[in-house]
Amino acid sequence: MSEEVSKRAEEEAETPDLEQGQSDDSSDEGDASGDTEMDFLRSLFSRTLGLSPGDKVLDELTLDGVARYILSGKCKNIICMVGAGISTSAGIPDFRSPGTGLYANLQKYNLPYPEAIFQIDYFKKHPEPFFALARELYPGQFKPTVCHYFMKMLKDKGLLRRCYSQNIDTLERVAGLEGDDLIEAHGTFHTSHCVSCFCRKEYSMDWMKNKIFSEDIPKCDSCGSLVKPDIVFFGENLPARFFTSMKMDFPRCDLLIIMGTSLQVQPFASLVSRVSNSCPRLLINMEKTGQSEFGMGLFAFGGGMDFDSDKAYRDVAHLSTCDDGCMALAELLGWKAELEEMVKREHALIDSKDAKKKDKEANQSSRSTGAEPGKTDKTE
């Protein structure tokens, strides 16, 4: 039995089921998790069998209990795990919602199956569908949400250890989180690289954006191969930093906030099991997720969240949109007015920058056509 459990636990960490583009990176993850495997198994058994639960940190398993814990001063290393659900209010579709999700609306690209648009082998042969989709969803066309700015507020108050994101929209960066604050588990549009293993030339986000919106298939200036944004496709490795950082971050975590994710995609979903047995875990989502039945939990499938049993002692589910949940928590913390002002100020700044950019582009266009800026050829 112990050998079977060990094998299953290793498989969970080494066999991701990709959603936005994830991969099998057994070598990197094996190095990073090898010395924590025994702790992971001990934690797995103790949670599943109820042998040695951690200390109860929250005075009640509610959002109010979480707020009181944060305000107590005992909570100094918060980790946020976020998925597509934190960006839907910005106008970016999630992946799996029936009817409205991204996978449900890809018929126009004539794909053999929806996930093919993020398959590396398919991309190398047929890059056109991916870049057509990228034009629709390209970063820079959307504003961060209340949820994004709540995480920025956690950073400003010295409480955020790290944000682990499944998203590729870069809205965490737009909201003010920097590279060191983020683990972009499924990659990012922030940089791009030539797909040739003999070249791998790097390109900037602006370079890629110009190519995408000019409807050119991006090709490497050096070797002529395709250039792809550094998002992780099916069949590619997750960033090595994902594995090395989780090894350092999760043992130190004293509050895990999980928002807008189905916790169905590995190895990302398994991160919920890497905090200590005493670490409270708050889920802000439209539905409960990450729970596992006894047998599934025993063999290390699922996150093992326990919201409702008589053994529940640290997991809290707040069922709402991510924005509403973050605003409710901010109100309990006495931060609501500050968060509302941050969102208003930052959105106004983005609008101002967009307006100036449009004016600049209009003036450049006018100069190129010989028209006076702000004037047209029409006479009254």
Rg (CA), the chain: 23
With contact defined as beta carbons under 8 Å apart, do 82 and 144 qualify? Answer: no
Residue type at 235?
G
Please tell me what DSSP assigns to residue 371: P
Annotated binding site for NAD(+): 84-88, 94-96, 166-169, 261-262, 285-287, 322
Decide: 327 and 339 in contact? Cβ < 8 Å: yes
DSSP string computed for 156-220? HTT-EEEEEE---S-HHHHTT--GGGEEETTEEEEEEEES-TTT--EEEHHHHHHHHHTTPPPB-
Three-state DSSP state, 82: strand
DSSP letters spanning 301-336: -S--B-SSSTT--SEEEEES-HHHHHHHHHHHHT-H
Q: Helices 240-249 and 26-33 meet at what angle, rounded to 10?
A: 20
Return d(Cα 368, Cα 363) in angstroms, integer.
9
Annotation: binding site for Zn(2+): 194, 199, 220, 223
**Residue set of the binding site:** 84-88, 94-96, 166-169, 194, 199, 220, 223, 261-262, 285-287, 322
Respond yes or no: is residue 186 known to be catalytic: yes
CA 267-272-276 angle, to 5 degrees, is 130
* CA–CA distance, 166 with 263 (Å, rounded to integer): 10
Cα–Cα dist 60/313, whole Å: 8
Q: Which of helix, strand or coil describes residue 226?
A: strand
Per the residue annotation, which of 148, 186, 190, 318 is the catalytic one? 186
The helix or strand, by DSSP H or E, that contains position 7, with its residue range, turns out to be helix 2-14
The residues assigned a catalytic role are 186
